[in-house]
Structure 1
Amino acid sequence: MNTVAQKNCPFCHYPWEKIPIDNLEDDDEAFYFERYETNGPHKLMKTINVLRNDDILPWLIAIKRRPKYCEMCGRPLNEEEE
């Protein structure tokens, strides 16, 4: 059973909020973030992105397919919502 915090987590429920990452480089002009997204029905994935000052859209760096739980609230992501 999910807690109220897990049911209302803004990171693992649409529209997914960005999860800031401490800068991976020593670069003040870049914002690194993770984000949960779908690439089809019931196909949740986690992406790692970077947005630099001159960019209009973020660059995709890596994809983690089928994450097992939300790293922010601990909710299992492979279960159906109640």
Structure 2
Amino acid sequence: MGNEQPNNPLHGITLERILKELRDYYGWDQMAYHININCFSNNPSLSSSLRFLRKTDWARKKVEKLYLRMIEEQNR
């Protein structure tokens, strides 16, 4: 089979890459504003955020949604 998810803009993008790009674009404070989770507002780090998001599906979905919104903003 060829590309199994041709219409999925997140296909092939790692959670680590998503977090790094969001951090560089918004910063931790703005990320915590958009998504109210402790790993963004209380001593934020890439490793603690990755650990939390890998275990917490609802939070990961919010991060992915914010990432897609960031991509949309960048393309304007």
Question: Structure 1 length normalisation: TM-score?
Answer: 0.28
* Greater RCO (CA < 8 Å, at least 6 residues apart): 2
Question: Structure 2 length normalisation: TM-score?
Answer: 0.29
Larger Rg: 1
Structure with bigger strand share is 1
Structure with bigger helix share is 2
